[in-house]
């Protein structure tokens, strides 16, 4: 069974499964999911918890023993297994696969496995597939920017507050990529104003600029042709002192991929095959597919030449405002003009 974080509470009200697998790229949601499962276990009579953290040199016999040993008092037990790297190794993978086949809903042991974000390739690994099929999987990924206002609205509703759409968007833009900070800002709104209908002015006065910018979000915005978001991300990266060679690499790499895919399409190759040849998989595949359908080969070649000019600026071979050129490059890709 696969659940979204918002579905977990209703599931736990109905039942407590013998195995939970929590993974994702958002620490706040991962922490909250783990806390909810542990709280449900306590409510069901679990009185003992054993925490195991898989680090270098971890002995997997510890996990086997933890699952095999009942509570000293014969009560229910929770085995809390944490794999921060998401890589249990060959021995660990074998142990987890065997364990998945032996999960007993009446065995008196609840197992919680916490992992980081598992990409499309990791999800195909035998041990992860076995765990997912044997238990309940909760994927805790951060909501996309267009989903974030609704996520914020639902969080405000928990504290008996509402806000107009423009206030929700304002918060979303200022906490993008940092749900822990978003959580803190919403708690601050609860303390400042209590149960009420918030105004945009109240939100603007209270919310700090706590967005966490990174080049991955910039690459996504570039593929989506979202010039406004590119501008905001570039401003944030510049303010944080991001290395210009890294920013250039992120942008040029996406443009080069799009140019290669577009050239293959123009020569008669199906888009899916062209994307596969460029090793574009997972969620990024759909973004690239939409982008190459919007852009033409000439525009992408011109964008690559623009990136080459920026590279000379970065290396000090010519003068210019590198960050302004980054913005102009994003606008070029958005417009699709040569």
Instruction: Tell me: do 328 and 234 sit in the same domain.
Output: yes
Q: Are 186 and 221 in contact (CB under 8 A)?
A: no
Instruction: Tell me: do 193 and 241 sit in the same domain.
Output: no
Instruction: Tell me: do 75 and 189 sit in the same domain.
Output: no
Q: What is the pLDDT of residues 284-318, one digit of tens each?
A: 888 899 999 888 889 999 999 999 999 999 988 98
Q: Identify the pLDDT of residue 92.
A: 93
pLDDT band, very low/low/confident/very high, at 112 (cuts 50, 70, 90): very high
Q: Look up tokens 């060679």; give the residue.
A: 245
- What is the rounded CA–CA span in Å between residue 68 and residue 167? 52
Q: Identify the pLDDT of residue 66.
A: 82
Mean pLDDT of 98-105: 87
Q: Identify the pLDDT of residue 166.
A: 93
Q: What is the pLDDT of residues 22-61, one digit of tens each?
A: 999 888 999 999 999 999 999 988 888 889 999 888 999 8
Closest among 238, 183, 172 to 209, alpha carbons compared? 172
Instruction: Tell me: do 181 and 309 sit in the same domain.
Output: no
Last residue of a domain, which of 139, 156, 176?
Answer: 139
| Token representation of residue 270 | 């199906």
- For 80, phi and psi rounded to 5 degrees? -105, 95
Last residue of a domain, which of 139, 167, 182?
Answer: 139
Does residue 21 sit in helix, strand or coil? strand
Domain containing residue 62: CATH number? 3.40.50.300
pLDDT band, very low/low/confident/very high, at 138 (cuts 50, 70, 90): very high
Q: What is the pLDDT of residues 216-261, one digit of tens each?
A: 888 889 999 888 889 988 988 888 888 898 899 989 989 999 999 9
Instruction: State the chain's mean pLDDT as an integer.
Output: 88
Does residue 209 sit in helix, strand or coil? coil
Instruction: Tell me: do 57 and 98 sit in the same domain.
Output: yes
- What is the rounded CA–CA span in Å between residue 171 and residue 185? 9
Domain containing residue 330: CATH number? 1.20.272.10
Q: Identify the pLDDT of residue 106.
A: 74
- What is the rounded CA–CA span in Å between residue 124 and residue 106? 28
Q: Identify the pLDDT of residue 212.
A: 67
Name the residue range of residue 318's domain. 215-335
Q: Identify the pLDDT of residue 143.
A: 87
Domain containing residue 183: CATH number? 1.10.8.60
323 pLDDT higher than 90: yes
Q: Identify the pLDDT of residue 209.
A: 61
Instruction: Tell me: do 202 and 303 sit in the same domain.
Output: no
pLDDT band, very low/low/confident/very high, at 211 (cuts 50, 70, 90): low
Last residue of a domain, which of 85, 107, 139?
Answer: 139
Instruction: Tell me: do 34 and 134 sit in the same domain.
Output: yes
């Amino acid at each position: 069974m696969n659940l979204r974080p918002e579905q977990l509470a209703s599931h736990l009200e109905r039942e407590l499964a013998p195995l939970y697998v929590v993974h994702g790229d958002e620490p706040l949601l991962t922490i909250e999911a783990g806390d909810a499962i542990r709280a449900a276990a306590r409510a069901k009579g679990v009185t003992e918890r054993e925490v195991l953290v898989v680090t270098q040199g971890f002995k997997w016999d510890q996990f086997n023993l933890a699952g095999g040993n009942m509570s000293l008092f014969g009560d229910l037990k929770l085995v809390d297994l944490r794999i921060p790297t998401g890589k249990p190794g060959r021995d660990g993978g074998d142990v987890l696969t065997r364990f998945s086949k032996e999960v007993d809903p009446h065995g008196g042991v609840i197992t919680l496995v916490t992992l980081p974000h598992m990409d499309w390739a990791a999800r195909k690994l035998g041990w992860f597939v076995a765990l997912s099929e044997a238990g309940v999987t909760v994927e805790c990924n951060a909501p996309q920017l267009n989903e974030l206002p609704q996520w914020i609205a639902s969080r405000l509703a928990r504290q008996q507050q509402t806000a107009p759409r423009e206030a929700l968007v304002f918060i979303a833009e200022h906490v993008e990529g940092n749900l822990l900070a978003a959580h803190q800002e919403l708690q601050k709104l609860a303390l400042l104003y209590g149960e009420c209908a918030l105004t945009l002015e109240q939100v603007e006065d209270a919310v700090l600029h706590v967005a966490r910018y990174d080049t991955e979000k910039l690459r996504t915005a570039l593929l989506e042709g979202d010039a406004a978001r590119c501008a905001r991300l570039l401003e944030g990266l510049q303010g944080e002192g991001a290395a210009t060679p890294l920013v250039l690499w992120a942008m040029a790499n996406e443009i080069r991929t799009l140019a290669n895919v577009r050239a293959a399409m123009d020569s008669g190759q199906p888009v899916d095959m062209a994307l596969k040849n460029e090793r574009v998989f997972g969620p990024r595949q759909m973004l690239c597919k939409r982008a190459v359908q919007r852009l033409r080969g000439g525009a992408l070649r011109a964008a690559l030449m623009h990136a080459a000019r920026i590279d000379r600026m970065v290396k000090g071979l010519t003068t210019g405002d590198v960050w302004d050129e980054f913005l102009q490059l994003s606008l070029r890709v958005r417009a699709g003009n040569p």
